[in-house]
Structure 1
Amino acid sequence: MRRPSFLPSVDPFLLWLISVVAAASLLPVRGAAAEAFGLLADLAIALLFFLHGAKLSRQAIVQGIGNWRLHGLVLASTYLLFPAAGLATARLAAGWINPLLVSGLLFLTLLPSTVQSSIAFTAMARGNVAAAVCSASLSNLLGILLTPLLVGLFLQTGKGGAGSDWQAVQSIVTQLLLPFLAGHFLRPLIGGFVDRNKKILMPVDRGSILLVVYSAFSAAVVNGIWHILDLSDLVVLLVLSAAILAVIMAVNVAAARLAGLSREDAVVLLFCGSKKSLVSGVPMAGALFAPAQVGMIVLPLMIFHQLQLFVCAWLAARFARQYDLAQAAAAPAGPDAAIPRTPAAIAAAAAVQGLAVPDACAPGVAANLDLLARHAERLRAAPEADGA
């Protein structure tokens, strides 16, 4: 049975995230095991940022760095629009839910954008990937300094004193920035291996995130998060997260139109300017807030992170289908037209004709079109051979 096109598909990674949260709720790590698990999570985060740095090519930076208007809009969305929405939401939510959850909502709006998912969704939606690489990376690098500054301005962290603030910045720089820079500077040596083995290295990315979520949520469960919260708190968090995401996306779409951005750059603004990083947020929360507060602080971020992935995955797939349909409609007709051979091209060509290829028939249709394309190539080559 085919899924209706108006329903968003579920990213398997979202199911893994939900499973990890459930596992941490039922079997949280405690004591010495929790300390060892936390150390392992820290090492995983460092490895993740090392790989992000190694993936960032100088060529991509050169290609995308000149688009300062786009980068300025992305940074304005991340560090101006989001905090404004967070302050407004925190004011509205005060008295409705636990004050720590209100602080968590504001904290998530002060974080940098994601890197991996922003680039992946931009590529999926046929956007400007080089600009997405620059915008997302710049957002994260600036966030190492801007997020602690914004947290100090707007939140009481429970770690009073200038010395503790400096220690928090040092911890963030050591865990995130230094591995990222190390990976980037070592790219001439390891970049080829990283580029050739992206499918092998993907489990490292996702596994690191799952490890961090399990460690953070285990600590929250041990500190009695489910005795403090109830279902209504989670519902309110979900509604407020959805409202923040909807406002940010709507403003970014309007800003792209007002600025006259191309379709490819508008995709970058939508995806890079509407997401917040779970991977950066969890270690930053651990460095900036008291240990007893971290679980409650990161819970809104985990809910927002899953929601943003779900919405952006659906939008990226929708944009990709629209782009493929437009490309198929603009393709030349007649004997010189290319015969579709990839699943995406076949689906786009079928949609232009008002047809739908059932999943059970897709392999046979692809095989027949491939055979037809090879016959067409031989027929086109025959006159050239006769003329020779």
Structure 2
Amino acid sequence: MQALKHLKRVVTDWFLLGMFLATLLAYFFPGFGASGGSMHAEVVINAGVFVVFFMHGINLSGEQIRHGLKNTRLHVMVQVFTFVVFPLIWLACDKLFGHFVSPTLMLGFFYLCALPSTISSSVALTGSAFGNVPAAILNASLSSVLGIFITPWLVSLVVGTGSGGIDLGKTLLDLCAMLLLPLVLGQLLRPLLGKFFARYKRYTNVIDKVVILLLVYAAFCNSMVSGMWQQQGDSVLVTAFVGTAILLAVILVLTTRTAKALHFNHADEVAAVFCATKKSLAAGAPMAALIFGANPGLGLILLPIMIYHPLQLIVCSVIAESYSHRKKTQTLAEIEAQETVSAR
């Protein structure tokens, strides 16, 4: 019943429905949101991304991050899985199955693997499962900052730099200007504006999601205008879904077994599993626009992370419920044992 409750919550989430609507609108009205279209997507989205990361900086608590600094093994595990293990899994799959999959979709899978972890859902799920919340906040936040530099560098290793690839230097400067600068400004202004934004945090979360939807719409508009979706066919959707589902299953098994092999306690295991398996659509969509520019294949590149995002919420919500039940059972057993000892 709990699993069905989480599934219903995810299915009725307006943001996920919004992603479906954005792709549908791109199919019927591609010219409006494409580069050079009436929406002026480049200006609107750049302004929106700057505002979103400024608000992330405002809402990021330095004190909570400092509380999570203690467990070095946990931090190393999460960051290694996020930026090393994920890409290595892609490398193995590319060698085995790369010639069966569209090169652009394969790049999309790699982009998914190169992305940082997500902050909000990682922390929320860790808390609901009685995990180490300060460590989750630290790792997810650290991952987001590292991703500004590591993600484009990893992408450059696959697509190359210079002609036919990406201009790594320019891309890093653009990412710093559009993502890191507003994040730092938000942190600097947090003492003055933190309480105000905290009161209206639900509205800032809405702005965050609306900007992502605009990015998704613009990306799919460019893909439709270029004719890429017409060339790929429906099979690309099946391939993307199956590939992301297998990737999520593999990474969940690996992170869980690694946490147990390192003898993490319950709280640290929960934080490790949820932070090391998550990938951020909130960071991925704006970064893709800056890394790949007006690439007509951007919609296809974003497809794996768009599928992975709701999938990770559904599966990890069910896992969180299992962790929570296990912890409650363990706590009750400990209380009963203490009462038995006291009675003697």
- TM class by shorter chain equals 0.7 to 0.9
Q: Cα gap change, 1:268/1:34 in structure 2, threshold over 3 Å: closer, same or farther?
A: farther
Paired letter, 2:147: G
Q: Cα gap change, 1:201/1:148 in structure 2, threshold over 3 Å: closer, same or farther?
A: closer
Q: When you count helix as a share of all residues, which structure comes out higher? A: 2
The residue number in structure 2 matching 1:226 is 229
2:124 maps to 1:126:
no
The residue number in structure 1 matching 2:95 is 91
2:312 maps to 1:308:
yes
Instruction: Give the C-alpha shift of residue 322 in structure 1.
Output: 4.5
1:147-180 deviations in Å (ceiling 9; x for gaps): 1221222334785478x22111111111111111
RMSD: 2.5
Superposition map of 1:349-368 within 5 A? none
Aligned equivalent of 2:115, options 108, 111, 116: 111
Instruction: Give the C-alpha shift of residue 30 in structure 1.
Output: 3.8
1:188-239 deviations in Å (ceiling 9; x for gaps): 1111122233233321222222222222222222222320222222111111
Unpaired segments ≥5 residues, structure 2: 337-344
Paired letter, 2:29: L
Aligned length, in residue pairs: 329
Paired letter, 1:9: L
Contact 1:45 1:176 in 2 (8 A): yes
4+ residue segments displaced more than 3 Å: 4-8, 30-35, 156-162, 317-332
The residue number in structure 2 matching 1:25 is 27
Unpaired segments ≥5 residues, structure 1: 333-388
SS in 2 for 1:114: coil
The residue number in structure 2 matching 1:16 is 18
SS in 1 for 2:115: coil
The residue number in structure 2 matching 1:181 is 184
Contact 1:157 1:289 in 2 (8 A): no
Answer with 1 or 2: which has the greater Rg. 1
The residue number in structure 2 matching 1:358 is none
Query: 1:126 & 1:42 partners in 2: Cα distance?
Result: 38
Contact 1:46 1:179 in 2 (8 A): yes
Contact 1:172 1:284 in 2 (8 A): yes
Greater relative contact order (Cα 8 A, min sep 6): structure 1 or 2?
2
TM (norm. structure 1) is 0.77
The residue number in structure 2 matching 1:360 is none
TM (norm. structure 2) is 0.87
Query: 1:75 & 1:106 partners in 2: Cα distance?
Result: 17
Aligned equivalent of 1:239, options 225, 242, 245: 242
- More displaced, 322-331 or 91-100? 322-331
Query: 2:150 & 2:113 partners in 1: Cα distance?
Result: 12
Query: 1:323 & 1:26 partners in 2: Cα distance?
Result: 49
Percent identity of the aligned residues? Answer: 37
Instruction: Give the C-alpha shift of residue 324 in structure 1.
Output: 4.8
